[in-house]
Structure 1
Amino acid sequence: MIGISSTSIYTPENVETAADLTGKTSIPEEVIIEKFGLRKKHVALENEHVSDLAMKAGREILKEVDPNDIDVLIYFGSPHKDYYVWPVAAKIQHELGCKHAYAFELMNVSSCFPIALKVAKDMLKSDKNIRNILLVGGCKESQIIDYENPRSRFMFNFADGGAAALVSRNHLKSTILSSAIITDGAFYDDVKIPAGGSVFVPSAKTVAERQHYIDVKDPLSMKERLDPVSIPNFVSVVEQALERSGYSVDDIAMLLPLHTKRSMFQELLTSLKLKDHQALYLEDYGHMSALDPCFGLYLAEKRGCLNKNDLIVVVSAGTGYTWAATVLQWQGDGCI
């Protein structure tokens, strides 16, 4: 059996509340809480970077397993890292002391945790020399919001944190079943940081024009094209992943999605015929790129929401646009 042995998270001490965000956005506090589904979020310190956030989560797992027993380290977090064109996975591997592990990065923005679980499971299944894979992610995307840009300031739910999961063959808290992924590349140009790559090389002009923050090319056009397919694609990947696992939507005990506005969260639950207690909503954390479902899994365990044999679906979506879901079966603290 292959699955998740443990998870961990790290939240920076600094917190921004809905009231704080009202001052930055001019959006009433009650609207931020009720419509956008955000009561507060954690924000990293100026000298606290993505590698630091990921390593602080990873170190919690390494209190339970020898770093020398990690065979592979995969970074699955935000593409907004300490530096651009730079392998953050290598630094994390070195600093965590996982000297026998090779390290690489999976980069698919917010959809990446369900994908990382599939990749880790497939690697363990295909290579008997691999025993333990450490998934680590960090996010400091609060830093890329431009509150002066009306096209993108609605992304103020972007938050900071670190998350990690140990995928292995032994002492499993949950087994990894099947996954499903959909990509609709028609959305490739809708959301991006314009400058910093080869199209707009960093310059005084790109800085002056504030092109180093995340931007939405045409919010109305994206909404008109995305709204009709977003929930159907969420539902589709969940249904496909469950069917491939030998189950159906009726068998879901817990849904762990990324953080979205409250109406989308409720629409997803309604479409899957789930009640509020069958999902975890990150209203006290916000959206942390690919980390959200990992946060959800950690919090669901800590809050006692999971029972033996419960079917859990981690589901997320990322700009570009990719929807992904992976099914887990909860085993508790027992050894399989």
Structure 2
Amino acid sequence: MRDPIGIEATSVYFPNQVETAASLADKTGIPEKVIIDKFGLYQKHVSDRKEHASDLAIEAARPILSKVDPLSIDVVIYFGSPHKDYYVWSSSAKISYELGTKNAYAFELMNVSSCFPIALKVAKDMLISDRSIENILLVGGCKESQIVDYNNPRSRFMFNFADGGAAALVKRGATKSEILESSFITDGSFHQDVLIPAGGSVNFATHDTVENRMHYIDVTNPASMKERLDPISIPNFHRVIQQSLEKSGLTIADLQLLFPLHTKRSMFQQLLEGLNLTEEQSVYLDHFGHMSALDPCVGLHVAIKKNQIKKGDITVAVSAGTGYTWAATTIKWNG
């Protein structure tokens, strides 16, 4: 019988600067009450010019490595935002160096907002397949508040994009939790719907791309995307959650706690209703916003700190990322 593989510790980091619903109302023209009630956002953290995705990830991981020897970490995996310090650059090397994990090799996983449940599966599978690995540090940073163009209505509705860092220690012989099974769905028909138009090889950076504000996130055709995405988004969320539970030998009835990405409130409520969960059985990030792939990890950390998780609880980390991928991983809590 193999040793249990699970999450042994989590930690987070947030910049000091905060944007409130009132300040976002000034920037978007959307009433403060609508931002709070409909979009589910009281405030979000934003970083300054000195803090980047790698820095946010590093600061998030430090509390874990204050209790665990950095030299005991075998692998460092960055799972955060693709909007990093530099393009064509691996932040994982910097993160590993700054954290002093000298015995670890480091690499990145990038699947935008869906990546945390995927990273949990990758870490678990690595620990199963390679007995020389004992400890894997998952780290992520997000500075996506920077890529919202408040002059563009196709971009500014993503005003919930926020900044922060999150980390999780996944290990062999874990005592606090066990990572069970996962489920993923990718519908590539959405591959062209949400992107930053310039900066890559299609539209390499020029004076024109800068002047035309093409280096911010954009939705190419919002009406078309909504028409195609709305009918399948919640069903796909429910499908990956149900499949991850069933593959774990469980059912929806066994689910006690959900850690989803931040969405508008109506979508959050639809997600819970389809699972017969109450709001108290989830973590809604209305004081944090959407931080790319970090959301489920942040929600998990918040739940742990609030003693919201009990021994024996079955929980699911679930998210979705543009492209479009829906991802869920089931976690059983033992401590």
Q: TM-score category by the smaller chain?
A: over 0.9
Which deviations, in whole Å up to 9, do the C-alpha atoms of 1:191-241 show, x marking residues without a partner?
000101000000101000000000000011000000000000000000000
| Structure 2 partner of 1:148 | 151
In 1, Cα distance between the equivalents of 2:54 and 2:278? 37
CA contact (8 A) 1:5 1:170 kept: no
Q: In the alignment, what sits opposite 2:242?
A: 239
Contact 2:238 2:274 (C-alpha < 8 Å) held by counterparts: yes
Question: How do 1:324-335 and structure 2 match up within 5 A?
Answer: 324-332=327-335
The CA distance in 2 between the partners of 1:160 and 1:25, in whole Å, is 18
SS in 2 for 1:152: helix
- Map 1:115-154 → 2, pairs under 5 A: 115-154=118-157
1:63 aligns with 2:66: yes
Residue 318 of structure 2 corresponds to residue 308 of structure 1: no
Which residue of the partner structure matches residue 189 of structure 1? 192
Q: Tell me how far apart the structure 1 counterparts of residues 194 and 67 of structure 2 sit (CA, whole Å).
A: 39
Alpha-carbon distance, 1:171 to partner: 4.2
Separation (CA, whole Å) in 2 of partners of 1:317 and 1:144: 19
Correspondent of 2:101 among 95, 98, 103: 98
Gaps of 5+ in 2: none
2:32 matched residue in structure 1: 29
**Count of equivalent residues:** 332
Alpha-carbon contact 1:256-1:279 (below 8 Å) kept: yes
What value does the CA root-mean-square deviation take over the aligned residues?
0.6
**Distance in 2 separating the partners of 1:278 and 1:50:** 30
Equivalence map 1:4-15=2 (5 Å): 4-15=7-18
Alignment of 1:50 onto 2:53: yes
Opposite residue 292 of structure 1, the aligned amino acid is D
1:5-59 residue CA offsets vs partner (Å, 9 max, x unmatched): 1000001110000001011001000000000000000001111111110000111
Q: Is the 8 A contact 1:79 1:109 kept in 2?
A: yes
Q: 1:284 maps to what in 2?
A: 287
What CA deviation, in whole Å up to 9, does each residue of 1:217-267 have, x standing for no partner? 001100000000000000000000000001001111100000000000000
Deviations 1:148-181 (A, max 9, x none): 0011210000000000000001343211000000
Q: 1:74 matched to which residue of 2?
A: 77
TM-score (norm 2): 0.98
From 198, 203, 206, give the equivalent of 1:203. Answer: 206
Whichever residue aligns with residue 113 of structure 1, its letter is: F
Q: Write the letter of the residue equivalent to 1:228.
A: P
Distance 2:244 2:286 in 1: 26
For 1:294 and 1:174, the matched residues in 2 are separated by 14
**Structure 1 segments unaligned to the other structure (5+ residues):** none
Amino acid at match of 1:21: L
Moved over 2 A (4+): none
Q: SS at the partner of 1:151? A: helix
SS at match of 2:153: coil
Paired amino acid for 1:147: Y
2:232 alignment partner AA? V
Return the TM-score normalized by structure 1.
0.98
Give the counterpart of 2:224 among 218, 221, 224: 221
Kept in 1: contact 2:261–2:319 (CA 8 A) = yes
Please state if 1:248 is matched with 2:251: yes
Quick check: 2:187–2:323 contact (8 Å CA) kept in 1? yes
CA distance in structure 2 between the partners assigned to 1:19 and 1:249 by the alignment? 38
User: How far does the alpha carbon of each residue in 1:58-96 deviate from its partner, in whole angstroms, 9 at most, with x for none?
Assistant: 111101111100000000000000000001000001111
What does residue 296 of structure 2 align with? 293
SS in structure 2 of the partner of residue 23 of structure 1: helix
